[in-house]
């Protein structure tokens, strides 16, 4: 799964809107160029006593609608180019969901699996020191993404607070509950995705209680997506994979046992309750619903024609390459776009910001009630737009997101 080409993919989606809306070249440039980016070197003392220098990024793509928001990714293949693409996705996601936020993303080129806990903490704190003047509760608010988690967010919030000389809980979201994270943030992305899938399945006349599901990726988003499948909809997860391989069972996988197996062994492969399947083959299994929940470009021009799922729900960011979309469409696959489908994470991050700013704490039921409404309402506005304009859900979602952002840019006199 390559991370290259993501920004081009997003630019193509935006340029389609620019053409649909009859916008000029200058407006197109303003919508497709990142507003600000920071490229940092991060010296970290390793456990050996030696210094190692890591490369890090934070890209703020567009802040016309509010402070920028988006996760921080730790991955060996990270690049400024892919972070730009992910920051662009955040801009359109927040605008589509009607949040008073712009879009950003950060990343560090590293393999956290090779770092000790102490090294990971020093790296996370050093990253925050490197970007501290660029972020903040009113400017740009990071959150977890691939290979970062609530523990990392706690270190980051603490480091930011030390620099600020005060508690700045609202500077980072996705924190543990003990330092004022939000109830429900941990599974918000997966839960929000299922709320969208539920509505889309109803519109498509698909009974989820009888549906089979394959999930690629078994981290935060993928494991909660698999766990919540039967709880929320009755759907049966028959295949899952992670970076080491996959496992399938036509009768359904026992997800709680699979989570325990992953904790014990580090991977889903070798789970006794199923047989081996590769992560690539999982994408073309005969299932009703495919949930790519790992990295970008999982479904490409090469394998799109072989996808047999009726619905592909992009729980990951950018898992379907732009060149793959026409093949999916020709085969009648319903594609639920990332900026709609995985918005639950940033929605609950926004709830966390609101709770931090007002010194409030909402219970899980309250968070869930608000999340469910926001995801379902957004799905219906996208679906209605797609029906009226006779376009795909992706094109309709981008049209709403770009129009919302453009309204703010125009009102502020930027274009
Ligand atoms: N966390 C969040 O709140 C949000 C995340 N997202 C997006 O969801 C996606 C997943 O993020 P998240 O779950 O947080 O990240 P995690 O780091 O928690 O999990 C990533 C998962 O992807 C797996 N993976 C990596 N490479 C491959 C591969 N080649 N084939 C199969 N699986 C692979 C990893 O495997 P292994 O376990 O073996 O390392 C891991 O299970 C990303 O696109 C992210 O941007 C979107 C919205 C919000
Ligand atoms: O929770 C957030 O602020 C951002 C989540 C994120 O990085 C994403 O939606 O891709």
pLDDT for the residue 5:
83
175 assigned to a ligand binding site:
no
What is the atom index within ligand 2 of the atom nearest the CA of 343? 9
Residues classed as catalytic: 105
> Burial of 25 by CB count in 10 Å (0-12 exposed, 13-18 middle, 19+ buried)?
exposed
Does pLDDT of 1 surpass 80?
Answer: no
> In CATH terms, are 34-169 and 188-341 the same topology?
yes
**What are the tokens at 228?**
């919540």
What is the C-alpha separation between 370 and 361, in angstroms, rounded? 14
399 assigned to a ligand binding site:
no
CATH architecture, range 188-341? 3-Layer(aba) Sandwich (3.40)
Q: Span 381-403, mean pLDDT? A: 97
What is the C-alpha separation between 318 and 11, in angstroms, rounded? 12
Per-residue pLDDT of 196-226, as tens digits, reads: 999 999 999 999 999 999 999 999 999 999 9
Q: What is the 3-state secondary structure (H, E, C) of the chain?
A: CCCCCHHHHHHHHHHHHHHHCCCCHHHHHHHHCCCEEEEEEEEEECCCCCEEEEEEEEEEEECCCCCEEEEEEEECCCCHHHHHHHHHHHHHHHHHCCCCCEEEEEEEECCHHHCCHHHHHHHHHHHHHHHCCCCECCCEEEEECCCCCHHHHHHHHHHHHHHHCCCCHHHCCCCCHHHCCCCCCCCHHHHHHHHHHHHHHHHHCCCHHHCEEEEECCCHHHHHHHHHHHHHHCCEEEEEEECCEEEECCCCCCHHHHHHHHHHHCCCCCCCCCEEECHHHHCCCCCCEEEECCCCCCECCCCHHHCCCCEEECCCCCCECHHHHHHHHHCCCEEECHHHHCCHHHHHHHHHHHHHHCCCCCCHHHHHHHHHHHHHHHHHHHHHHHHHHCCCHHHHHHHHHHHHHHHHHHHCCCC
Residue nearest to atom 42 of ligand 1 (CA): 316
Per-residue pLDDT of 30-78, as tens digits, reads: 999 999 999 999 999 999 999 999 999 999 999 999 999 999 999 999 9
pLDDT for the residue 4:
58
113 assigned to a ligand binding site:
no
What is the atom index within ligand 2 of the atom nearest the CA of 188? 1
Per-residue pLDDT of 67-119, as tens digits, reads: 999 999 999 999 999 999 999 999 999 999 999 999 999 999 999 999 999 99
Q: Hey, what CATH topology would domain 34-169 get?
A: Rossmann fold (3.40.50)
Spacing, Cα 276 to ligand 2 middle (Å): 32
Task: Delimit the domains of the chain by residue range.
Answer: 34-169, 188-341
ipTM: 0.99
Spacing, Cα 299 to ligand 2 middle (Å): 21
Residue-averaged pLDDT of the chain: 97
Does pLDDT of 244 surpass 70?
Answer: yes
Virtual torsion, Cα 395, 401, 403, 405, nearest 10 deg: -150
Spacing, Cα 403 to ligand 1 middle (Å): 30
217 CB under 6 A from ligand 1?
yes
Q: Span 23-29, mean pLDDT? A: 96
Per-residue pLDDT of 320-354, as tens digits, reads: 999 999 999 999 999 999 999 999 999 999 999 99
Over pLDDT 70: what percentage of the chain?
Answer: 99
User: For residue 245, what are the β-bridge partners?
Assistant: 242
């Amino acid at each position: 799964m390559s991370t290259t080409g993501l920004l081009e993919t997003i630019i193509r989606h935006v340029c389609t809107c620019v053409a649909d809306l009859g916008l000029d070249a200058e407006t197109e440039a303003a919508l497709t160029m990142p507003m600000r980016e920071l490229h940092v070197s991060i010296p970290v003392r390793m456990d050996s006593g030696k210094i190692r220098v890591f490369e890090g990024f934070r890209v703020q793509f567009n802040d016309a609608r509010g402070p920028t928001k988006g996760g921080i990714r730790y991955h060996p293949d990270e690049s400024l180019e892919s972070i730009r693409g992910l920051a662009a996705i955040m801009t359109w996601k927040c605008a589509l969901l009607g949040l008073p936020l712009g879009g950003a993303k950060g990343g560090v080129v590293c393999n956290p699996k090779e770092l000790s806990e102490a090294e990971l903490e020093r790296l996370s704190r050093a990253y925050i020191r490197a970007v501290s003047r660029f972020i903040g509760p009113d400017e740009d608010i990071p959150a977890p993404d691939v290979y970062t988690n609530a523990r990392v967010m706690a270190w980051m919030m603490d480091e930011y607070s030390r620099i600020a000389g005060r508690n700045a809980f609202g500077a980072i979201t996705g924190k543990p509950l003990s330092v004022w994270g939000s109830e429900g943030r941990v599974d918000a992305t997966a839960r929000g995705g299922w709320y969208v899938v539920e509505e889309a399945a109803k519109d498509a006349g698909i009974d989820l209680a009888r549906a089979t599901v394959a999930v690629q990726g078994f981290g935060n988003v993928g494991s909660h997506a698999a766990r919540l499948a039967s709880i929320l909809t009755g759907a049966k997860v028959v295949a899952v994979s992670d970076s080491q391989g996959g496992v399938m069972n036509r009768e359904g996988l026992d997800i709680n046992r699979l989570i325990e197996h992953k904790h014990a062994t580090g991977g889903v492969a070798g789970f006794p309750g199923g047989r081996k399947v590769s992560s690539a083959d999982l994408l073309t299994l005969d299932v009703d619903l495919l949930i790519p929940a790992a990295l970008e470009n999982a479904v490409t021009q090469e394998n799109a024609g072989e996808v047999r799922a009726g619905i592909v729900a992009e729980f990951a960011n950018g898992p379907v390459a732009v060149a793959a979309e026409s093949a999916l469409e020709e085969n009648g696959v319903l594609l639920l776009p990332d900026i709609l489908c995985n918005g639950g994470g940033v929605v609950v991050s926004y709830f966390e910001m609101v709770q931090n700013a007002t010194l409030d704490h909402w219970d899980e039921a309250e968070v869930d009630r608000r999340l469910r409404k926001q995801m379902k309402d957004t799905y219906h506005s996208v679906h209605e737009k797609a029906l009226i304009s006779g376009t795909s859900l992706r094109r309709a979602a981008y049209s709403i997101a770009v129009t919302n952002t453009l309204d703010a840019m125009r009102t502020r006199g930027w274009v």
